[in-house]
Amino acid sequence: AQSVTQLGSHVSVSEGALVLLRCNYSSSVPPYLFWYVQYPNQGLQLLLKYTSAATLVKGINGFEAEFKKSETSFHLTKPSAHMSDAAEYFCAVSSRVNNLFFGTGTRLTVIP
Amino acid sequence: DAGVIQSPRHEVTEMGQEVTLRCKPISGHNSLFWYRQTMMRGLELLIYFNNNVPIDDSGMPEDRFSAKMPNASFSTLKIQPSEPRDSAVYFCASSPLTSGQETQYFGPGTRLLVL
């Protein structure tokens, strides 16, 4: 079975500060891991994904995430937050079939 | 490409009425997913199709919910009769037929309010 846990339902950072959103996964097989972002009143869109190639994955808008098997983690980071990063972020895991298992989401607020 | 198209974008209905949500996946995608998003339960997978065939409907809440995919370019999610607890945002997503690593592309959602 697969699942993800996102620590912190709300995270606030100042503009220009480091963004760190935490995700831990559970999977009985080598996982595929994803981060999606949802802006207000929109659907989810992919930020980045890990599919067993490089453990450090770079995505859109300056975000990146590192797969750490020993810690079962896939935390999302961005060196410098921008106001436009305010959104809800979802971590998700899948195995070798279609369906994704999403976390409960983390709402990011960026303070000017 | 127009992306995943959902209609209507907003629906307000009264308890007991039938509601039909529609989805057009991205052309060439063979997998289609229906999700429901609420504050209380987050994002839940309701059902998904591969090549128009329902693969897993274990997330469908009860018999009031049904989904069909008559062809590769169209799917419906029907609620009959609707209840206030069905109020949520319903998303459709599509992806290439997959080994699990393909990106799912989400539509803008249908915001349903059942009074």
pLDDT of res. A90: 96
Contact A99 B56 (CB under 8 A): yes
* Contacts with B50 from chain A: Cβ below 8 Å: 98
Half-sphere exposure of A107 (CA within 13 A, CB side): 7
* Contacts with B100 from chain A: Cβ below 8 Å: 32, 94-98
Query: How deeply is A57 buried, as exposed, middle or buried, from its count of CB atoms within 10 A (0-12, 13-18, 19+)?
Result: buried
Asked whether B1 and B27 are in contact (CB, 8 A), the reply is yes
The total of other beta-carbon atoms located within 10 Å of residue A39's CB is 13
Of A34, A36, A43, the CB nearest to B107: A43
Contact B42 A104 (CB under 8 A): yes
> Which token pair is B113?
């309010």
User: Which among B81, B79, B87 has a CA at the least distance from the CA of B39?
Assistant: B87
Q: What is the mean pLDDT of residues A30-44?
A: 92
CA distance A100 to A36: 11
CA distance A51 to B110: 30
Task: DSSP for B13-46, please give it.
Answer: E-TT--EEEEEEPPTT--EEEEEEEETTTEEEEE
* Contacts with A96 from chain B: Cβ below 8 Å: 99-100
Q: Chain B neighbours among A 40-69 (CB < 8 Å)? A: 41-46, 49, 51
For the stretch B81-108, pLDDT in tens is 999 999 999 999 999 876 777 889 999 9
CA distance B109 to B115: 19
For the stretch A69-99, pLDDT in tens is 999 999 999 999 999 999 999 999 987 666 7
Please indicate whether residue A100 or residue A82 has the higher confidence score (pLDDT): A82
The dihedral built from the CA positions of residue A110, A36, B19 and B4, taken in this order, carries a sign that is positive
Contact A99 B101 (CB under 8 A): no
